[in-house]
Chain A
């Protein structure tokens, strides 16, 4: 059973426009969410995160929105640039009563293509 879902395998947008990447989760215990960007044959690069006590976090061109009641988060990139073309993974972690979260549950990723 896939606990983190990215239902769009790919997305294509024009340079300068907004890119919106979506992610849904099923486990209501998840309380920390991250977005990673990945180029082929490279490791994932951390982009932005949000905790369950917030509904929005912004960092430059990247904004993540969290809707806990809908178990949905989205990543907005404005304005989109050709260098943003990559696979974007949504990941979630679960509060561990012992303290630290170890396991990241990843979605399958969305390939974003930003056309010049």
Chain B
């Protein structure tokens, strides 16, 4: 089973709203990711959590706030977004091969995404 689930599937919000995106995996993966994808572009990495700690923040604006409540869940809190933030937001997870040696086998598995529209 390589399933990553995301809710909601679609979200429309105003620029003053606060909303959250949710992601869940039950594969025992210890690394979880948020990506943003615009039409006809590849996914862009936003955040990485490893063992529930934030490992990478790709200089994402503070109106996006990630949270990892436990090893299976990843949230992305949204506040005061701009229309240009409209995109497909993808969650992914990977095994996390751990420290030491050659770590080149961490396949990332993606969820179906949340289509976000900011009005």
Contacts and interface: CB of A to CB of B under 8 A. Distances in A.
* Residue among B42, B92, B97, B100 with most chain A CB within 10 A: B42
Contacts of B106: 32, 93, 100-102
Contact of B56 (A43, A89, A99, A103): A103
B50 A100 contact: yes
B98 to A, nearest CB: 5
B88 to A, nearest CB: 7
Contacts, number: 85
Given A104-B45, A104-B108, A95 B113 contact: no
Nearest to B88: A41
A103 B35 CA distance: 11
Given A43-B110, A44-B90, A106-B42, A31 B104 contact: yes
Interface of A: 31-32, 34, 36, 41-46, 49, 51-52, 89, 93, 95-96, 98-104, 106-109
